[in-house]
Structure 1
Amino acid sequence: MKLNKRMRALFDGLGEARINPPQTLDDIVAKRFVETNDGVLLAYFAKRRSNTSPGYFPDKTGFECFVNSFHIDDYVDKDFLAYSLFVVSSLKADIERYNLKTIVGIDDDGGTVRFHVDRVGEEWLSDDIEGYSEALLVLESTDINEIKKLS
């Protein structure tokens, strides 16, 4: 697990956020992931692949991050980290099953959640996560249980 200083500060201020996920977020996690020839995709967003194909990306990781990326602020207007962690925790079984890397990015305007299979030689982010302007949390598939220790 990696998190930059900005994300550490968000966790320090997280507390006990009471969340009430909207139906659409519940739908996203309920549909889970599907395994396709193109990669492991969030079933809720898998139709997006009809607009593009893996050939438009340098690798499968890039394609998966395109399809498996959504803005948490499209569904809620506050507590972006808490709702992002709800999504991640709800998808724990699939994250572990498919060996998915999870990337949560939060800024002043919202947040993004991304998933991709953890492949040797393929990365979505640079190693220097302090160099990003947003708060970043990067989880390996085995790190999901560690989230509770951060807050």
Structure 2
Amino acid sequence: MKVNQKMRSELEKTLPQVTELPQELSEILKMGLCVVDDCVFLLSLLSIDTNAELHDFPDRTGYECFINSIHIDDYVTCDYLESACVFARELYLIWRGFGALGGVRFMVMKDEFGVLIKFHKVRSGESFFADDLELYEDASMVFQNEEVFDFFP
């Protein structure tokens, strides 16, 4: 797991009060995952018409992160960071149960307005996120696979 200093401060202030996924976010996961052109998407997010296509991005990872992007604050009114972590945990369980997809990498960014979570399939030589998270102005963290269980028991 990688965490920048701003996110480290946010995590220190965060109490694990949210242990179950709020209903609003649970609805996003209900439709499950789908694979299109070796890209993995939440079907509920892929169904949103964006006019974006794979050829509009430098790689599959960029395309996945564009589609698989959720503003947590659009669905809950508090505990944004906790809700994002629980969302990642629940999504990972679905991902793991889906079959041979490989690993999943998450990025959570927090600013003064709320929390954004993005995720993509782990691919060799591809990453949507900078290696040095201190380059990001917002509180940021990147984690993958079983690291989703590091937040809450």
Say whether the fold is shared (TM-score over 0.5): yes
For structure 1, the residue ranges without an aligned partner over 5 or more in a row are none
Q: Which amino acid aligns with 2:115?
A: G
2:24–2:76 contact (8 Å) kept in structure 1: no
Matches of residues 78-93 of structure 1 in structure 2 within 5 Å?
78-93=78-93
Give the structure 1 partner of residue 149 of structure 2.
Answer: 145
Q: What TM-score, normalized to structure 1?
A: 0.88
CA distance in 2, matches of 1:19, 1:101: 21
Give the structure 2 partner of residue 121 of structure 1.
Answer: 125
For structure 2, the residue ranges without an aligned partner over 5 or more in a row are none
Give the structure 2 partner of residue 102 of structure 1.
Answer: 106
1:103–1:139 contact (8 Å) kept in structure 2: yes
CA distance in 2, matches of 1:143, 1:21: 17
Matches of residues 56-71 of structure 1 in structure 2 within 5 Å?
56-71=56-71
The size of the alignment, in residue pairs, is 149
Give the structure 1 partner of residue 42 of structure 2.
Answer: 42
2:41–2:68 contact (8 Å) kept in structure 1: yes
Q: Runs of 4 or more off by more than 6 Å in structure 1?
A: none
Task: Give me the CA root mean square deviation.
Answer: 2.0
Change (3 A) 1:48 1:78: same
Q: What TM-score, normalized to structure 2?
A: 0.86
